[in-house]
Structure 1
Amino acid sequence: MGKLYGLIGCPVEHSMSPAIHNDAFREKNLDNYYHAFHVETEKLEESVQALKLLGVRGFNVTIPHKISIIPFLDKLHETAKIAGAVNTVVNENGRLVGHNTDGNGYIESLKEMLNKPISDHKILIIGAGGAARGIYFALTHQGCQEIDICNRTISKAEELINECPFSNNSKALNIQEAEIDIEKYDIIIQTTAVGLHPHVDQKPLSLKNAKKSAIVSDIIYNPIYTALLKEAKELGLTVHTGVGMFVYQAALAFELWTKQAPSIEKMTKIVNDQLGGTSC
């Protein structure tokens, strides 16, 4: 019988993870199977224990469980300790070890679009949840100093900044303040679930005052072009879709589970094909 892997989150119906991981298992001739499990918040602890008892060899963690899962794991890898959030779990001989591949996966995908070091950019992060934490800590770990965080609840942005273990000059903003000051930023990173399928007409803020040279990045990949990215394209801004981060973090997780590197190109093609290509 093959080994079982999976994803836990709420919702998970939109996820392309089963498609790309199961294809990669076939590509590598591995007798493994990946399944998405819908897990409500109040069922998280018992669901994690059930996966452990079933001998699931590894699983990904998505919204809204990336932080709340931590007490139910046996150990945290350094990447998860730094991020304060978990997106990948490895079953090591019955012990569940939490990792975070979000931050590094995101940076690797973003670097492909930059013509100067990432630390030379002034950055705005929208959101202060688990995904924002992983990206923010990874960016500051790489030397980025000028990173501000905006969130509907400003205290959560302040808390995230205060918990960052690396040097920074970050400020916490509310959404209205971020919209007013948005022309200051070279890179704008959207990390919330706003705009995720099926609520595809929603966006967290307006880009009308953004500088023309800005890169607007949205980690949502379904749809590939969110309402925020569509606005960015209409304004002539450079857009960075969530497909890159999704694929790179998935590839890093796959390698943690199998010790084999999947094809980034193949994973990217599957996501783009299933979600309707690469254009608006």
Structure 2
Amino acid sequence: MKIKGSTNIVGLIGHPVEHSFSPPMHNAAFDKLNMDYAYVAFDVDSNNLKSAIDGAKSLNIKGFNVTIPHKIGIMQFLDEIDEVASLIGAVNTIDFKNLKGYNTDGIGAVRAIEEVTNIKNKNVVVAGAGGASRAISFYLARYGADTITLLNRNVDRAMNLAEDILDSGLITEIKSDSISEINSYLSDADILVDTTPRGMHPHTDDEPIARAENMQEDLVVFDAVYNPNETVLIKEAIKAGAKPVYGIKMLLYQGAESFKIWTGRKAPIDVMEKALGETLNLE
């Protein structure tokens, strides 16, 4: 990569950001397409969000990804919010052409799942009711899931999310319950989505949300955690003969969608995936 006076800058803002896998993924894509762009990670404290946006505009930065803990707080400083991002209530991508916020997390997840199965008319069980669950669940509804069951330790939080999704008019059947009841829902499930941090590095020996003996072979199991690549839940899915979907795929596809928003060009998926694999030391 050659940085020149004409180089367009895009990047990531969050706190912390030093362990992000996005810079090598995006910079590999820019190199492949010979685009005069560079992707940089910026550690931004929550108190400095407005000045970060103002500074980025002044510096002619082209776009940002937004990660924890800024996905909600950043919205007040944008001129426009995409319709789906508004429903989700969080932004993970900013296009500075019109200072518009998007959320590509959900599309990243559904594209990953749809490599294995169609979402339309499927019964989906979603573990967790936080920001990732919110983004993914709205997109599951948008892509035609028949039913969604939201499971969380705090059942009230799951109920509130279920009501928000119902109010969107995207789906007519949605349930909520305690995550401790997950086994009673798996027998009728087509897709299991885990948005909890269980098994995330360095807690790789966490108890998975479900065990192999409660999974059928036709079940598609997606874990949003991508470090490690083979989480405790994915290991159980493989043991059961179920169909695993790796979290790295969500990271890949949400990044590809951001790339398209910023540049107007289709992202080189294979190049980005290879860069992610090398970053994560995958064979």
Instruction: Give me the TM-score of the superposition, normalised by structure 2.
Output: 0.87
State whether structure 2 residue 136 is matched by structure 1 residue 107. Answer: no
Q: Secondary structure at the match of 1:5?
A: strand
Q: For the residues of structure 2 that align with 1:40 and 1:203, how far apart are their CA atoms?
A: 33
The residue that corresponds to 2:210 in the other structure is 206
The residue that corresponds to 2:174 in the other structure is 170
The residue that corresponds to 2:139 in the other structure is 138
The residue that corresponds to 1:13 in the other structure is 18
What is the number of residues matched between the two proteins?
A: 274
Q: Secondary structure at the match of 1:69?
A: helix
The one-letter code of the counterpart of 1:211 is Q
Deviations 1:137-166 (A, max 9, x none): 111112213111112222221111111202
* 1:91, distance to aligned residue in structure 2 (A): 0.6
Deviations 1:87-106 (A, max 9, x none): 111112xx521012222232
State whether structure 2 residue 158 is matched by structure 1 residue 181. Answer: no
Q: For the residues of structure 1 that align with 2:152 and 2:41, how far apart are their CA atoms?
A: 29
* 1:41, distance to aligned residue in structure 2 (A): 4.5
Unpaired segments ≥5 residues, structure 1: none
Q: Secondary structure at the match of 1:171?
A: strand
Q: Secondary structure at the match of 1:257?
A: helix
Q: Secondary structure at the match of 1:156?
A: helix
The one-letter code of the counterpart of 1:125 is V
The residue that corresponds to 1:36 in the other structure is 41
Q: For the residues of structure 1 that align with 2:101 and 2:157, how far apart are their CA atoms?
A: 23
Q: Secondary structure at the match of 2:249?
A: helix
The one-letter code of the counterpart of 2:235 is K
Q: For the residues of structure 1 that align with 2:233 and 2:48, how far apart are their CA atoms?
A: 32
Q: For the residues of structure 1 that align with 2:59 and 2:154, how far apart are their CA atoms?
A: 38
Task: Check 1:176–1:239 CA distance in 2 against 1; reply closer, same or farther (3 A cut).
Answer: same
Unpaired segments ≥5 residues, structure 2: none
Q: For the residues of structure 1 that align with 2:183 and 2:51, how far apart are their CA atoms?
A: 41
The one-letter code of the counterpart of 1:129 is G
Instruction: Give me the TM-score of the superposition, normalised by structure 1.
Output: 0.88
Task: Check 1:47–1:240 CA distance in 2 against 1; reply closer, same or farther (3 A cut).
Answer: same
State whether structure 2 residue 231 is matched by structure 1 residue 230. Answer: no
CA contact (8 A) 1:14 1:197 kept: no
